[in-house]
Structure 1
Amino acid sequence: MTLATALAGVAGALAAAGLADLAVVVARARVAAASATRERGRAARWVAALTRLGRRIGAPAAPRDLGARLAASGLPATVRTADAMAAKAGGGVVAALATMPLAGALPTRLALVVLPGAAAAGFFAPDLWLARRARRRAARAGLELADVLDLLRVGVEAGLPIGRALEEVGRRRSGLVAAELRALAARLQLGVPRADALRLLQRRLPLPAIAVLTAAVQRADHHGAPLGPALHALAQDARADRARRLHEQAAAAAPRIQLAVALLLVPAVLLFVAAGLVHGLA
């Protein structure tokens, strides 16, 4: 085996590693999408078990903002604050029981610290999960909001009542914001007062644009103010915010791309060139 052949082999291996890294990213996304249903079912069973355990041992009173955090995380309305507190209490008990074998092997002073710490971690872990879920929902809604507001403006300016416009936009589009608009339209059809339905929408999507939207709809209901200009301004602001977020995500991804190029693709190309030069000299 000549030196040119060896260099070409190394270059091919590095190029294959770079392509394999991209393939792994795509495969992970597909696997995550395929297993989302199974994970949700498994998580629901775990949460139900923790809730039953928490009810048996007794759960503390819920804080005032827990209902708002549950709504912002996108959980169904059937999940009550009492159920969430029972799940938190059950998580604390399970974490403490799981730590007991380790605490038994530690000195007494450390065991007295580890056991309460594990119970506290199990109790407050659902709060961290709710906060993370709410952040992801808010980021996803921020990316969808501009297009939804534009369609809503078109419907209102075409002469549709605001309730019908909300229903049509929710029915004709997919995504998180459209799903919330469909739920809002369903509540209005069931006879829920519009102010209460808008307040629930704001709780489930606690974004500044949604707060301004609900205020504009209420002004249009009470004072007859035109809704089209307000929706146009909101759509422009949402589009600018989306562009800013996408720019930040691209800036965060740039170092990783540069690292992959510098460590894999550039050496592969240089080795191919070196292999050709060695072969020509030989």
Structure 2
Amino acid sequence: MLIEDDFASWIILGMVFVAVVLVVLALAPAILGRTNIKSRLASQGGSAASMDSMPGSIRADQGSTAWARLIAEIEKRGLSLPDTKRDQVAEKLMLAGWDQPYAPRAFVLARTAMTLGLPIFLLAFIALSGSWPAPGKLYMLLTGAAIFGLYLPNLIVQGKADRRKQEILNGFPDTLDLLLVCIEAGLGIDAAFNRVGQEIVSSHPLLAQLFANVSLELRAGRSREVALKTLARKSGLIEIGSFCTLIIQSDKLGASIAQALRVYASEMRESRRMRAEEKAHRIPVLLSIPLVCFMLPTMVSVLMLPAAIGMKGAMGTAESK
């Protein structure tokens, strides 16, 4: 009991030490006299402060969310949120649908908070319950909670990216058909992207957003090749990458885009049908697992119960004789 009390005292002292370190890091910019660059520009007559206050500006829109304000407040206190693999993290978040400028820093903040928060929450729960495990077991529990908190954001991002890719892939054949109809009706490829993006907002919102981005980039002056390559990169799908390559090559060689789209749309519909058939063929295999685990023991029990009752009755009659 004395050992457990000493160990609990060391844990509490460690938590106090961590809290003091965090407070010192938060107050370090004020102690060192570091000031915000934006405030210095404003005091010298700069326009950084006025730019953020302009209604409808891009910078004001980016800083209007709760995550952006939280990250800005944290970085104002000197706790920067860098990542050595910033480009890779930004790519993963973009594939999951989070393409905001502050998304990598928000991901680092969430991962750090979960890595530190889960062990502290577990430790607080054990302290409140009063049942302290052995030191080795407690160390393993806290380490496992920290590892789980470190990798949980990656799993969440990967799962969301997979669901987003599947949703985009399922709606892509219908989008190709609409694009083919627009091109055969006389629209150019640029206008067709804009028209199809407007038509599929309710049915396929993710694809509508991607097509709207292509249309905006074309209006902003980017070349069609760069806009289509950006579409392929943001979707993360091989099928859309092949589609963009098809459009680029047809445009460069002067081939008929409508004919190429007709063939490619037919292949995409066939691919979607094959995926549906594959899932349908997997159903019997998946159903066999609950059948074996739940229904087979019940059926065996029902079939064997009358025989067991009869054998017990026969044995009782033989013993009475």
**Per the shorter chain, which TM-score range?**
0.5 to 0.7
Q: Could you report, residue by residue, the CA deviation over 1:185-228 in whole angstroms, capped at 9, with x for unpaired residues?
A: 12322334433332332122111111011112222343323322
| Structure-2 separation of matches of 1:95 and 1:258 | 35
Identity of aligned residues (%): 24
Counterpart AA for 2:220: L
**Kept after mapping to 2: 8 A contact 1:187/1:197:** yes
Task: Summarize the alignment of residues 1-16 of structure 1 with structure 2, pairs less than 5 Å apart.
Answer: none
Q: Does 1:186 align with 2:203?
A: no
Gapped regions of structure 1 (runs ≥ 5): 1-43, 264-282
| Structure-1 separation of matches of 2:165 and 2:216 | 22
| Structure-2 separation of matches of 1:92 and 1:258 | 36
Task: Summarize the alignment of residues 237-256 of structure 1 with structure 2, pairs less than 5 Å apart.
Answer: 237-253=267-283
Aligned to 1:61: 83
**Kept after mapping to 2: 8 A contact 1:95/1:119:** yes
Q: Could you report, residue by residue, the CA deviation over 1:109-129 in whole angstroms, capped at 9, with x for unpaired residues?
A: 222222232122112211111
2:114 aligned residue (91, 94, 116): 91
Aligned to 1:72: 95
Q: Does 1:158 align with 2:185?
A: yes
Q: CA deviation at 1:151?
A: 1.7
Determine helix, strand or coil for the equivalent of 1:160. coil
| Structure-2 separation of matches of 1:193 and 1:77 | 23
Aligned to 1:224: 254
Aligned to 1:199: 229
Q: Could you report, residue by residue, the CA deviation over 1:77-96 in whole angstroms, capped at 9, with x for unpaired residues?
A: 34432232222112212222
| Structure-2 separation of matches of 1:201 and 1:120 | 35
Q: Could you report, residue by residue, the CA deviation over 1:166-198 in whole angstroms, capped at 9, with x for unpaired residues?
A: 111111223122332123212322334433332
Determine helix, strand or coil for the equivalent of 2:100. coil
| Structure-2 separation of matches of 1:91 and 1:72 | 22
Aligned to 2:242: 212
Aligned to 2:43: none
TM-score (norm 2): 0.58
**Kept after mapping to 1: 8 A contact 2:90/2:99:** no
Whose relative contact order is higher, 1 or 2, with alpha carbons under 8 Å and at least 6 apart? 1
Counterpart AA for 2:219: Q
CA distance 1:90–1:50, change in 2 (3 Å)? farther
Task: Summarize the alignment of residues 95-174 of structure 1 with structure 2, pairs less than 5 Å apart.
Answer: 95-101=118-124, 105-174=132-201
**Kept after mapping to 1: 8 A contact 2:71/2:105:** no
Q: Which moved more, 1:220-229 or 1:247-256?
A: 247-256
CA distance 1:213–1:61, change in 2 (3 Å)? same
| Structure-2 separation of matches of 1:76 and 1:237 | 31
Gapped regions of structure 2 (runs ≥ 5): 1-64, 296-321
Q: CA deviation at 1:58?
A: 5.1
Q: CA deviation at 1:258?
A: 12
**Kept after mapping to 2: 8 A contact 1:72/1:206:** yes
| Structure-2 separation of matches of 1:53 and 1:99 | 28
- Greater C-alpha radius of gyration: 2
Counterpart AA for 2:94: A
**Kept after mapping to 1: 8 A contact 2:115/2:146:** yes
CA distance 1:61–1:199, change in 2 (3 Å)? same
